[in-house]
Amino acid sequence: MSAKVHPTSILSPDVELGPDVEIGPYCMIQGRVKIGRGTLIEGHATVGSRSGILEIGENNHISPGAVIGGPPQDISYKGEPTKLIIGSNNVFREFSTVNIATSKGDGITEVGHNCYFMAYTHVGHDCKIGNNVVVANDTHMGGHCEIQDNVVIGGVCAFNQFTKVGRNAFVAGSSVVNKDILPFSRAHGNWAVVRATNKVGLLRKGFSKDEVQNLHKAIRILIMSKGTVEESLARIQSECISSPNLDYLIHFVKSSKRGIAIARGVKAESLDSSEN
């Protein structure tokens, strides 16, 4: 089935539409834009920009008022043909915004597959969003943030530029994040720090109880140890059971550029509560 475009919408000549794409009323789609099969763009959405390049995969849903692929909010941007690449099966709710990249990094803002961005969320230039990410209302990410797979973020959160959130983490609502959030953890606060292991979330994603407990022990060492981070990592390698997830956790800490969002001396009950 060919694409269906409402007669009130405006598309530039460079726009490429896959089969079964539907464009609602009063949309503006401009620049070099490629939209994959089955994607729905509802009324009053703005997609693409004069200078950027936008690639959208299959079966995405862009809601009314969303602005996807607009220019980066960076005063150094001078119209370079940078990109936004979006995977498949994503939902962008009302008035969400995702910007193309600047030319300062690899020139690409990227969103993976199966993500859900609620109303008024913002993904800044050069961000890298993984797969199966859920971002609640009015949460904003500065430029160059990295949100890895299976992360859940509550509403009204703010992420400083270049911050990173590891896989399977949960960031509670109204948090302000200025350092990297450990994978497999729960974080909140202003400034946000890791408060617990994301036990419930990990079990729901199919992690075994033994693996969850192993990761919990590692996170507990990082949070509660009185020594340096390097000393905590040595303890983890000595006291915890080696696994791909544990290796990834250790690598995440070692490779952090902004520092890990931990506050030494967090009370033990916050790690051992029945909720977590």
Q: What is the distance between the alpha carbons of residues 167 and 94, in angstroms, rounded to a whole number?
A: 26
The token pair at 255 is: 């490779």
Strands 128-129 and 146-147: parallel
191 cis-preceded (ω within 30 degrees of 0):
yes
The sign of the CA dihedral 267, 270, 273, 276 is negative
Residues 6+ apart with CB under 8 A from 139: 118, 121, 122, 153, 154, 155, 156, 157, 158, 159
Catalytic residue annotation: 125-126, 143
Q: What is the distance between the alpha carbons of residues 117 and 135, in angstroms, rounded to a whole number?
A: 5
